[in-house]
Amino acid sequence: MAVDYKKELQQIRWDVLEMVHRAKEGHIPSAFSVLEILYAIYKNKKEEDAFFLSKGHASAGLYAALAHFGVIKKEELKTFCDYDSFLGGHPHKKAGYFMNSSGSLGHGFPVAAGYALSKKIKKEPGKVFCVVGDGECNEGSIWETAMYAEQLGLENLVCIVDNNNSQVRAMVSTNLAGKFGAFGWDVREADGHNVPELEKALFDQDKDASKKPLCIVARTVKGKGVKAMEEDTFSWHHRAPTDEELEKFKVEIFQ
């Protein structure tokens, strides 16, 4: 009965690679890290729900996922990062597909919290999902927002931390679950590349009884799906594959 999500994600990964290869621009490992999260959210998201990508540099992943779900035309992916494209290195809302124009870290999360607050004020249904990175959690505004969400009773806010350990080079993200918990959030942990597990964490009905905002700390791998990237995230963080690399990675992805 279940769709073969693994197969679909292989195709989405390939779309990301092709986009970045064509544009010679983009952050592949960050995109690969969040693909299953985006897939789980967009597959189940209701009309009244809203989604904010706070770590905008995973844009290639967002575009490919939206193309998969038919929000963006697949053809449009081929314009990625062109001068007059709607799909840039960071998302811009002129495209009409995104809630916020993003890029700078530590912004999308408080904006999403504001949107969640507006739903409460207007007594509107629906949840507000927001993906932040573990590196982004270095930003003070993330923790200002963690405080706000609890104080303002934003039980309609769901924060997903893409915990891909990108900050091992600087400020290691230790115990993010404990930190959000200390700020008064419900916290769940999940394998960030396991769609059923993510779906359970994101949409489990028990959650509706809670009056607290929900944080899901998703264990992810930066560059997931391509060994070379998983093993050398630093050099791959912002680089496009060559023609030879593309062919090699294609085989690996569709294995």
Binding site for other proteins (CB under 8 A): 93, 99-101, 103-104, 106-107, 109-122, 140-141, 144-145, 147-148, 152
Which of 11, 101 has the CB closer to other proteins? 101
For the bound state, the minimum distance from the C-beta of residue 91 to other proteins, rounded and expressed in Å, comes to: 12
C-alpha 232/C-alpha 210 separation (Å) is 40
Q: Assess contact for 54 and 136: CB atoms under 8 A.
A: yes
For the bound state, the minimum distance from the C-beta of residue 39 to other proteins, rounded and expressed in Å, comes to: 25
Q: Is 136 helix (H, G, I), strand (E, B) or coil?
A: helix
CA angle (129 as vertex; 240, 151 as ends), nearest 5: 130
CB atoms within 10 A of CB 140: 9
Q: Give the neighbor-by-neighbor strand order of the sheet with 50-53.
A: 50-53, 128-133, 157-163, 214-219, 186-191
Which of 124, 232 has the CB closer to other proteins? 124
C-alpha 45/C-alpha 66 separation (Å) is 12
Which of 110, 223 has the CB closer to other proteins? 110
For the bound state, the minimum distance from the C-beta of residue 141 to other proteins, rounded and expressed in Å, comes to: 5
Which of 130, 218 has the CB closer to other proteins? 130
